[in-house]
Amino acid sequence: MRPPARINSRAARAAPFLSAVALIALCLHGLGVQRQPADTKYLARVAAAIDAIPYRIGPLVGTDAAPTPAAVRLLKPNRILQRCYTDPQTGASLTLLLVHCADVRDMLGHYPPVCYPAHGWLMDDSAAVDIAIEGSHAPARLYQFSRSGDDIDQRMSVLSFFVLPGSDSPVVADMDALVRAARSPGAAGLGAAQVQIVATRSLIQGAQADLTDIALRAIEPSIRTIAGGPHS
């Protein structure tokens, strides 16, 4: 199998988390709601669960990329993980992005329809999809992006969802649920996580689905910890 085309490394590192529009949204939604003290023990459990995500999942071997300083300043994250998983036999790869913020408002506006176009990607399509988390179905969104430059056409898909603790259905597909949580001091202070699984479109559909399922199973313990909230 031919190795997939690489996404421009600088743009790939920055795109998931950086956007002037996102910063504006953060300021607007954060007005008038007092921040609550974070539960430090819960934040430590979440950080440890994210740190425990394995480097080897099925045939894939992971390599970390450091988050940009600008992403850290904007998101004020409890933890950011950005890791490329590659099958050394075939060259097939996925990038896993997982960021957890102690306050929901720090994540407002940071999601694929805003951040990727802000870095030169054209959103070609967006569709609601179901994903399997611990044996149950959960909502997510699958975005398709493309861009052209230097005589090279680049295409990729981004599977995206959020995790909000303190709910019977903590996995949500879009930003609307985060906006609602941000308006409540209690809910905002519980924090939130965003997960993205990024794949180049050179992967055949079946291989992409299989590798995505492997990645989702690998992060289930961290999702469970985040969803459980401070009192789990």
Higher pLDDT, 119 or 29: 119
pLDDT tens per residue across span 151-186: 677 889 999 999 999 777 899 998 998 888 888 877
Q: What is the pLDDT of residue 92?
A: 86
pLDDT tens per residue across span 30-81: 434 555 667 899 999 999 999 999 999 999 999 999 888 878 888 899 999 9
Q: What is the pLDDT of residue 6?
A: 41
Q: What does the domain layout of the chain look like in residue ranges? A: 9-228
Cα–Cα distance measured from residue 4 to residue 52, given in angstroms and rounded to the nearest whole number = 27
pTM reported for the whole predicted model? 0.81
Q: What is the mean pLDDT of the chain?
A: 82
How big is the CA angle at 197 (ends 1 and 125), to the nearest 5 degrees? 90
Mean pLDDT is lowest, of 13-17, 26-30, 104-108, for 26-30
Cα–Cα distance measured from residue 126 to residue 141, given in angstroms and rounded to the nearest whole number = 7
DSSP 190-223: T-EEEEEEEEETTS-HHHHHHHHHHHHHHHHHHH
